[in-house]
Amino acid sequence: MSAFTFTAAAALDLPPATEQVTPFEVHVPQGAIDDLKLRLRLIRWPDRELVDDWTQEVPLHAAQELVDYWLHEYDWRTFETRLNGYSQFRTKIDGVGVYFIHARSKHENAMPILLTHGWPGSVIEFLNVIDRLTDPERFGGKAEDAFHLVIPAIPGYGFSDKPRETGWNPARLAAAWTVLMKRLGYERWVAQGGDWGSAITTTLAAQAPEGLLAAHVNLPMVVPGHRHGGQADAELHQGRGR
């Protein structure tokens, strides 16, 4: 699980977000990093499991190797610098401060795309594709393949605020994302998501807000024995669907 997964907003004492789209830069206080390392050093390890494989979940040695890496090799400041290489913002939507990366392509006519992460995850899931999507020509693609990227952190994750009330379900999140895209001035856009982002994006497509042209998800849900009916399903069940 990423250390970035759950909200850092409260721990960092961030200023309250407003409905203005406000530039944001990440800087985790050194005290927070020192506190984390102290907690890692003070871990009280349990006895090792009774088997030599993963049948009793995460082996003790694997957890210890992870903590050792986290303590002695992982460099948050290097990652922080990488994150700050992208344009980041916060804005208040439906009472909650939402953090997002807004990476615009140099091609003004690029298609805006909203990318929603999953759990346990964060906007980090998309860092390795930002440059490829905003500037595909650098990677052998075409200018017409370019996108403007909007990558929000779900409330309760990363540098978005933690909600102060229940009810932040996929429908409410999808509606919030529509507000975000309108606030950024996008009149035509598409959306993509995986895991929780898939649920949110599917709901967004069902809401069919004005301007949403298409949605793509990468968490196919297949329930054994479930039947939807219809000619396509009938052909598939008979072995003719391909």
The model's pLDDT over 93-119, given as tens digits with 9 standing for 90+, comes to 999 999 999 999 999 999 999 999 999
Residue 59 placed within a domain: no
What gap in Å lies between CA 151 and CA 237, rounded to an integer? 39
The strand pair at 147-152 and 96-103 is best described as: antiparallel
Phi, psi of 79 (to 5 degrees): -70, -40
| Averaged pLDDT score across all residues of the chain | 91
Residue 231 placed within a domain: no
> Which strands form 96-103's sheet, in the order they lie side by side?
22-24, 88-93, 96-103, 147-152, 111-116, 189-193, 212-217
In this prediction, residues 140-158 reach a mean pLDDT of: 97
In this prediction, residues 220-236 reach a mean pLDDT of: 60
Domain boundaries, position 153: 9-26+84-217
- Count the domains in the chain: 1
Q: Which carries the bigger pLDDT value, residue 93 or residue 7?
A: 93
Residue 153 placed within a domain: yes
* Predicted structure pTM score: 0.85
Q: Which carries the bigger pLDDT value, residue 59 or residue 11?
A: 59
* 68: confidence class by pLDDT, cuts 50, 70, 90: very high
Question: What's the CATH code of the domain at 105?
Answer: 3.40.50.1820
Predicted confidence (pLDDT) at residue 72 exceeds the cutoff of 60 = yes
Predicted confidence (pLDDT) at residue 230 exceeds the cutoff of 90 = no
Residue 143 placed within a domain: yes
CB 95 within 8 A of CB 164: yes
- Residue count of the chain, please give it: 242
CB 170 within 8 A of CB 176: no
| Residues 177-208: tens digit of each pLDDT | 999 999 999 999 999 999 999 999 999 999 99
Phi, psi of 200 (to 5 degrees): -65, -45
Residue 61 placed within a domain: no
* 241: confidence class by pLDDT, cuts 50, 70, 90: very low
In this prediction, residues 161-184 reach a mean pLDDT of: 97
Residue 19 placed within a domain: yes
Residue 3 placed within a domain: no
Residue 122 placed within a domain: yes
